Chains A and B, each alone.
Chain A
Amino acid sequence: MELVLLVIGAILVKNILLMKYLGNCPFLGVSKQMETAVGMSMAVVFTMTVASVITWLVSRSILIPFGLEYLRTIAFILVIAALVQFVEIFMKKTLPALYQALGIFLPLITTNCAILGVAIICVDNDYNFVEMVVFAIASAIGFGLALVLFAGIRERFRISRIPQPLQDTAIALITAGLMSLAFLGFKGLA
């Protein structure tokens, strides 16, 4: 039951993009087309889960036993950067089709604060292994959901007449604000 609440909380109530303000650069950067938004979401689901598992293990098995918690930021970002590079090389060799689909988004993910943010939240909240995996997957799904919905709205901008000073980023931010307002309505759920 608690896990269900955790999932609903992470996807809807505390949506990582719209409520926790993490990962907003790709949110505005790759949301102009549906295809790229879907590709980015898939890449994030994959990387976020793997990165959270590995950083959780690093934190539990290396940083805490040796009293090195203050090195957390450096350790985590290095792990994530190395992981992204590794995943890219591995995918290129073994899953070329998936690499074709996700390839260009993978390097961008290193500087996606959602990945590092979720890893830090998991450690800060002292989640156990199962909770951590569930939370990471649910957060990534929440990211994907918001990104795909947003891309759908932004595709419509191309055929609508937007006042010139509002074009591009300004209207995108205001739309994101309205979406965030809609997500605020889920607050009563969990």
Chain B
Amino acid sequence: MRIVKEFTKGFTTQLPPFRLVLGLCPTLAVTTTVENGIGMGMAATFVLVCSNVLISLLRKLIPPKVRIACFIVLIASFVVIVELVMKAFFFQLSQSLGIFIPLIVVNCIILGRAEAFAAKNPVHLSAADGLGVGLGFTLSLAVLGAVREILGAGTFLGHSVFGNSFEPFAFMAQAPGAFVGLGALLFIMNAYDRFRSRVRTA
């Protein structure tokens, strides 16, 4: 049941960007709302699954010395596809994600999975790995987006949460809120892990 293991590790030991501290720029930048977070996560997941599958298929053909350049070209092709599809069908979302769609190319998670996993493993495992890590990334973005949207704008997916009397923290919607929010979530996860390991040993 290795395929299940490769899929679920994206939510547990390899959960980006908390367990794997990679791909921080899109995480911080687009999580002003839940919707943007999920959109970004889905775009990255698509690129990650496609590039993992293709790199895994071509892993015996790509000469090891120029592998990074090959990976980047493959990833960039999928990013262009995503860019064009988003512009055609999700124009609003592509406007709010802006420059961060082309920047999926340099998202270290994607290159990292290509190098660490897809270049060494067969296709079905690479696909499971890509899907797991991608969905884990989407989940993290959605959680951070939810925290920032609820506190920063008082809404969740555009619906008001607290009613009219709520004064939003403008801080959370801006850059500092992104850093502090991610730091706080990471702190909560670490504290929870510590608590759990202490319970287990006691």
On whether the two chains bind one another, the answer is yes
In the complex, what residue of chain A is closest to B22 when comparing beta carbons? A25
Give A70 Cβ to nearest chain B Cβ, in Å: 6
Of A2-10, A109-117, A130-138, the one contacting chain B is A109-117
A28: contacting residue among B21, B69, B80, B106, CB under 8 A: B21
Assembly CA distance A184 to B105 (angstroms): 29
Which residues from A are CB-within-8-Å of B179?
A: 173-174, 176-177, 180
Report A51-98 residues with CB < 8 Å from chain B CB.
70-74, 77-78, 81
Contacting pair A170 B22 (CB below 8 A): no
Most buried by A among B29, B73, B187: B187
Chain A binding site: helix, strand, loop or mixed by DSSP? helix
Which residues from B are CB-within-8-Å of A23?
A: 25
Assembly CA distance A180 to B108 (angstroms): 23
Does B99 count as interface, using CB distance less than 8 angstroms?
yes
Report B155-202 residues with CB < 8 Å from chain A CB.
171, 174-184, 186-187, 190-191, 193-194
Contacting pair B25 A170 (CB below 8 A): no
Known A-B contacts A19-B175, A116-B105, A177-B176; the reply to A77 vs B183 at CB < 8 A is no
Contacting pair A173 B25 (CB below 8 A): no
Assembly CA distance A173 to B18 (angstroms): 12
Contacting pair A111 B111 (CB below 8 A): yes
Contacting pair A74 B80 (CB below 8 A): yes
Does B50 count as interface, using CB distance less than 8 angstroms?
no
Known A-B contacts A21-B178, A112-B106; the reply to A165 vs B194 at CB < 8 A is yes
Contacting pair B176 A184 (CB below 8 A): yes
A164: contacting residue among B28, B29, B194, CB under 8 A: B194
A173: contacting residue among B77, B111, B182, CB under 8 A: B182
Which residues from B are CB-within-8-Å of A170?
A: 183-184, 186-187, 190
Contacting pair A73 B184 (CB below 8 A): no
Contacting pair B183 A73 (CB below 8 A): no
